[in-house]
């Protein structure tokens, strides 16, 4: 283990947060005349997917778990600039309707399609491939969905997975089983012969996996 100069993690977060663009912070206020919402990917991961979209310029992106549209709007803004589209899947009709409203208010209705259904069923029926996929749905489904999501990725496409630091985070008792689920999922990413993955300690932890061309 290399010796690195110590720094205070929270001060570093605050310092780096000030470097994020104003646009990303404004996402928090975007729409949200909404029912109780689930935690979002937050500004760090929003900024990360933006950068990845500008670099990769995917024609199509897919998101599992829309909630009220925070991450979809973040991705939609970047996709609009590069000429891509987003399909985002939400199982809860009330959240999905709120997302549609927020997306429309953000002027992104032409870029983002919200599909209201169980993502397990939706991904089984998809016929097109995607340059970028964001997995932020039910943590219990991450492992089960992995083979199909890799299949749906274009070669050199990116799978971005949120919440990968759950195994080492203090989370509420009712969500404890997700620590185990994410532990297994992280191992599956690590062992996957068709993926190369980096785990980043931003937000609740995010993994970026590239589909290898083999
Ligand atoms: C963490 S939230 C997503 C937050 C969103 N990505 C954001 O950053 O704004 C997870 C969402 O996945 C949805 N979800 C859970 N199981 C699902 C399933 N089987 N299919 C589609 N969506 C699902 C939940 O209803 C919830 O809204």
Span 139-151, average pLDDT: 98
Tokens describing residue 188: 């599956």
**137 in ligand 1 pocket by Cβ < 6 Å?**
yes
Position in ligand 1 atom list of the atom nearest CA 70: 9
Does pLDDT of 1 surpass 60? no
What domain range is 187 assigned to? Answer: 9-211
Give me the percent of the chain exceeding a pLDDT of 90: 78
More confident residue, 27 or 43: 43
Question: Is residue 4 a part of any domain in this protein?
Answer: no
pLDDT of residue 33: 44
Question: Is residue 80 a part of any domain in this protein?
Answer: yes
Does pLDDT of 122 surpass 80? yes
Does pLDDT of 34 surpass 60? no
Sheet containing 206-211, strands listed edge to edge, beginning at the edge strand earlier in sequence = 112-116, 85-90, 60-64, 130-135, 153-162, 206-211, 195-200
**37 in ligand 1 pocket by Cβ < 6 Å?**
no
pLDDT of residue 35: 57
**CATH code of the domain in which 207 resides:** 3.40.50.150
pLDDT per residue over 58-92, tens digit each?
999 999 999 999 999 999 999 999 999 999 999 99
Question: Is residue 23 a part of any domain in this protein?
Answer: yes
pLDDT per residue over 177-186, tens digit each?
999 999 999 9
Q: Are the C-beta atoms of 130 and 61 separated by less than 8 Å?
A: yes
**SS3 readout for the chain:** CCCCCCCCHHHHHHHHHHHCCHHHHHHHHCCCCCCCCCCCCHHHHHHHHHHHHHHHCCCEEEEECCCCCHHHHHHHHHHHHHCCEEEEEECCHHHHHHHHHHHHHCCCCCCEEEEECCHHHHHHHCCCCEEEEEECCCHHHHHHHHHHHHHHEEEEEEEEEECCCHHHCCCCHHHCHHHHHHHHHHHHHHHCCCEEEEEECCCCCEEEEEECCC
Question: Is residue 1 a part of any domain in this protein?
Answer: no
Question: Is residue 3 a part of any domain in this protein?
Answer: no
pTM exceeds 0.85, yes or no: yes
Position in ligand 1 atom list of the atom nearest CA 89: 21
Q: Count the domains in the chain.
A: 1
For all residues of the chain together, what is the average pLDDT? Answer: 92
């Amino acid at each position: 283990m290399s010796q690195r100069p110590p720094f205070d993690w929270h001060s570093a977060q605050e310092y780096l947060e000030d470097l994020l663009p104003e646009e990303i912070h404004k996402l928090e206020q975007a729409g949200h005349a909404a029912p109780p919402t689930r935690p979002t990917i937050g500004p760090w991961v929003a900024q990360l997917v933006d950068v990845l979209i500008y670099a990769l310029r995917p024609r199509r992106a897919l998101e599992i778990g829309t909630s009220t549209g925070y991450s979809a709007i973040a991705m939609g803004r970047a996709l609009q600039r590069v000429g891509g589209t987003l399909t985002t899947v939400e199982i809860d009709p009330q959240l999905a309707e709120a997302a549609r409203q927020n997306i429309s208010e953000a002027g992104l209705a032409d870029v983002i399609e919200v599909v209201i259904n169980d993502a397990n069923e939706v991904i089984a029926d998809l016929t097109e491939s995607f340059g970028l996929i964001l997995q932020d749905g039910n943590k219990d489904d991450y492992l089960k969905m992995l083979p199909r999501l890799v299949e749906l990725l274009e070669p050199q496409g990116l799978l971005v997975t949120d919440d990968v630091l759950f195994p080492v985070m203090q989370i509420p008792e009712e969500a404890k089983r997700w620590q185990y689920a994410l532990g297994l999922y992280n191992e599956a990413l690590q062992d996957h012969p068709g993926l190369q993955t980096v785990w980043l300690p931003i937000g609740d932890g995010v993994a970026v996996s590239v589909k290898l061309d083999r």
